[in-house]
Amino acid sequence: MLNILMQSNTGGSGVGLIGQLLPFILIGFVFYFLLIRPQNKRMKEHKAMLAAVTRGDTVVTSGGLVGKVVKVTDDELTIDAGSGVKLKVMKHMLNDVRNKTVAANDSEKKK
């Protein structure tokens, strides 16, 4: 069977190296645009969210704990889970920031 396929391919069939590699190149583009690019975008958004966490934000951890941020360090957060329970969690384990606090603008006086 293989011998028959090789004999039929030896005659001047115009399929060159580009024609044989084109399906692999197309698969590479599909993987990039459907898998790799969206994952990189999600990672950038998650890093930006982690960098923007401040004291007073309500956060959700990957374990499902919800609490208010009491203290922020480089790679750890201290959250108040209610009833005075304070937990230290790693910053990269956050899934969501629910209630983003707005910085008070104390420079303007009320009219």
- Higher model confidence: residue 1 or residue 12? 1
What is the CATH number assigned to the segment(s) 52-99? Answer: 2.30.30.100
pLDDT tens digits along 17-41? 888 899 999 999 999 999 999 999 9
Q: What is the pLDDT of residue 108?
A: 54
Least confident of 13-22, 77-86, 101-110: 101-110
Q: Are 89 and 50 in contact (CB under 8 A)?
A: no
pLDDT tens digits along 45-83? 999 999 999 999 999 999 999 999 999 999 999 999 999
Any residues with CB less than 8 A from the CB of 98 and at least 6 apart, and which? 57, 58, 59, 60, 66
Q: What is the pLDDT of residue 111?
A: 45
CA 53 to chain CA centroid, Å, is 16
Q: Domain-by-domain residue ranges, the chain?
A: 52-99
